[in-house]
Chains A and B, each alone.
Chain A
Amino acid sequence: MDIENIGFETINLGHGSGGELTRNLLDKIIFKTFSNPYLDQKHDGSIVKIEGEVAISTDSFVITPIFFKGGNIGELAVHGTVNDVAMCGAIPKYLSLAFIIEEGLKVSEFIEIVQSIKKAADESGVLIITGDTKVVERGKGDKIFINTTGFGQVHPKANISVHNIKEGDKIIVNGFIAQHGMAIMSEREGLEFESTIESDSTNLNFLVNDLLDVFGDKIKLFRDPTRGGIGTVLHEIANDINKGVFLKEAIIPLEKQVAAACEMLGLDPMYVANEGVFLVVVDPSVENEVLNVMRNHKKGKNAAIIGEITNEHPNKVVMESLIGGKRIVSPLVGEQLPRIC
């Protein structure tokens, strides 16, 4: 999409003043890019219609660097919230979009981010219906922060609740874990290393929708293990239901290059962030059918049944190691820290 020259190379405090500069930025970049009947009213907010139960989720994106292999903060801000709404068993429809920009951000970078947001929103089937733009002084932000809130219609067949989970239910993951976190890590200042690992940031809502269409309440839970990785999320599930989770390390999909990068930096892929990964807990009567549907969808080609719910070891995640031993998978405490040697 063509965006005409707005007359500035960098964004300054004036662009957040609410005056003419703000209007210029909004008209020439935001409204032009995201034009739709709701947004075009340019009102203080938007009035929309959603039938039945509504799922709402909000998330803020503060990632650094803002551009990375396989994506940027813009598409992440769409995928993250779209996926959170989808994990509620809902069909995402609308997004709000709020920027906090540190003065000095290049307009060209801002435009690239906005265009990525547009592309990701189109691909996810959601409309941007309201938003906000603020500019803060240099040093009071980190280039750009984005907040999005998503609104979705709960799927009529969905009955997603951690409390529906029973002993024997199976845990399925849609693909390779730890890609996003390691892609970001490979570009962090001071840690740069050569790799072709790309972020897996993507929207998962259509695959989630397909699964609900076919399997309805046989699907007990969806979770997207972003920060904290699958280790932390599985631990939360075990704690929530007072049951155990049993995993097999050998079956967890982990791409070789990602495994090697984790080894090199001394990080455990179980705790590395994901953006295009989700876990599904399903009734064991449909485990293989669910796996087939996932593997036939482009967002689930490498899906695998990685574990199950058990009444043994309540509140604990236990994993059988590659060599047949057992370990617990405890929740991540702080940020994973690189080791000395």
Chain B
Amino acid sequence: MKYLSEYRNLEETKKVLDEIHKITTREWNIMEICGGQTHSLVKNGILELLPEKVRMIHGPGCPVCVTPLNLIDKAIELLEQGVIVCSFGDMIRVPGSKKSLLETKALGGDLRILYSPIEAISIAKKNPDKEVVFFAVGFETTAPANALSVLHAEKEGITNYSILASHVLVPPAMEAILDDKFCTINAFLGAGHVCAIMGTKEYYPLVSKYKIPIVVTGFEPLDLVQGIYIAVKQLEEGKYELANQYSRIVKEEGNIAAIDVINKIFEIGNREWRGIGEIPNSGYVIKEAYRKYDAEEKFNISTIKVPENPNCIAGEILRGIKKPNQCDQFGKTCKPSNPLGAPMVSSEGACAAYYHFSTNLID
């Protein structure tokens, strides 16, 4: 656990921050893709330590935030039908159209909070007379474990297990953001953990098509300031390259075994992003051969569709067009205890990060 000391080192971080101040001559907008990075930036107070000219724009990389509202309603419907629904923790408080998974649990639903979908397989084995569904949300990072759970179920002949999948992919989202006419982003910090799985190769086409620096970056304070430094340096020198700050974890080819597992179960298809809308070829859908593990097919819930709360500007937040504190509802009608949208709930949501940690709210 060296990263707890090395990558949170005051002197080292300060050195890099000083360098950023030295080389910055113009205004730059840099988007960190991942919600984990947003939280680390705010929680460590990095935003206030950067030069005023370097503005961080918070990206869409919060799996909870981009999971469509109707999918949450589908999970709730399953809970109400008596299915054991297993979920990652920060999904359960996100409001559906009427209530959250947590509220449905209080009304008698059998909801289990897990750290790994493989545990859901054990639950399915222990409860052969019940159906067990894993709420498989996330980016490329969580896809291998979710796919692996299906392979386990197949291998062990478990028929009472399926997944409610909503996997989304980072590169198509970056492209959608760059194509937006309001986009002001000059460089990206790439999502370190997504790249740990997928590698860095798929980002080269984006770098050359949009002439934009992409720096694959980690999550600790020192990682983040190093990533920002590399991005600012390229921008100041008029360069646009793919750089890898997180090379202690991320290899160019990614994690080949994990990619193989993903490709066995999933194929690329269209996906709806909460707050953004449908993006072509932006997610994983379950392959035909594994459809019997697809909860949407198994329980005939694919028709559930619900509208978003019109007062929530999550879409603009997720595309980096507005900051959380520029929302009229922020901290007033919308709080973590009464969220209008997912970014106020998730531990990776930009609104929650601002609400919980940001000193902007001190006065």
Contacts and interface: CB of A to CB of B under 8 A. Distances in A.
B92 to A, nearest CB: 7
Interface stretch (B111-119, B245-253, B254-262, B271-279): B111-119
B93 A334 contact: yes
B49 A325 contact: yes
Interface string A161-189: 00000000000000000000000000000
B348 A321 contact: no
A49 interface: no
B275 to A, nearest CB: 17
A338 B45 CA distance: 22
Interface stretch (B156-164, B169-177, B182-190, B355-363): B355-363
B44 interface: yes
Contacts of B36: 339, 341
Contacts, number: 117
Interface in A320-341: 320-328, 330, 333-334, 337-341
Contacts of B63: 340-341
Contacts of B221: 321-323, 325
Given A330-B357, A340-B64, A324 B14 contact: yes
A341 B45 contact: no
Contact of A256 (B1, B114, B348): B1
A341 B138 contact: yes
A106 interface: no
A341 B47 CA distance: 23
B205 interface: no
A323 B10 contact: yes
A259 B1 CA distance: 10
B38 to A, nearest CB: 13
B1 A327 contact: no
Contacts of A330: 355-357
Interface string B323-336: 00000000000011
A331 B318 CA distance: 25
Nearest to A340: B88
A318 interface: yes
Interface residues of A, number: 29
Given A322-B221, A328-B361, A340-B137, A190 B92 contact: no
A313 B49 contact: no
A339 B62 CA distance: 10
Contacts of B93: 334, 337
Interface residues of B, number: 51
Given A318-B359, A323-B44, A326-B48, A340 B138 contact: yes
Nearest to A257: B1
Nearest to B102: A334
A236 to B, nearest CB: 16
Interface in A262-287: 263, 265-266
Contacts of B4: 256, 259-260, 263
B281 interface: no
Given A259-B4, A341-B138, A327 B45 contact: yes
A328 B113 contact: no
A328 B8 contact: no
A327 B43 contact: yes
B141 interface: yes
A263 B14 contact: no
Contacts of B102: 334
A338 to B, nearest CB: 4
Name the 9 nearest CB pairs between A and B, nearest first. A325-B45, A338-B89, A337-B89, A327-B357, A323-B13, A326-B45, A333-B336, A340-B88, A321-B44
12 contacts: A263-B1, A321-B43, A322-B8, A323-B46, A324-B13, A325-B46, A325-B48, A327-B357, A327-B358, A328-B362, A339-B348, A340-B138
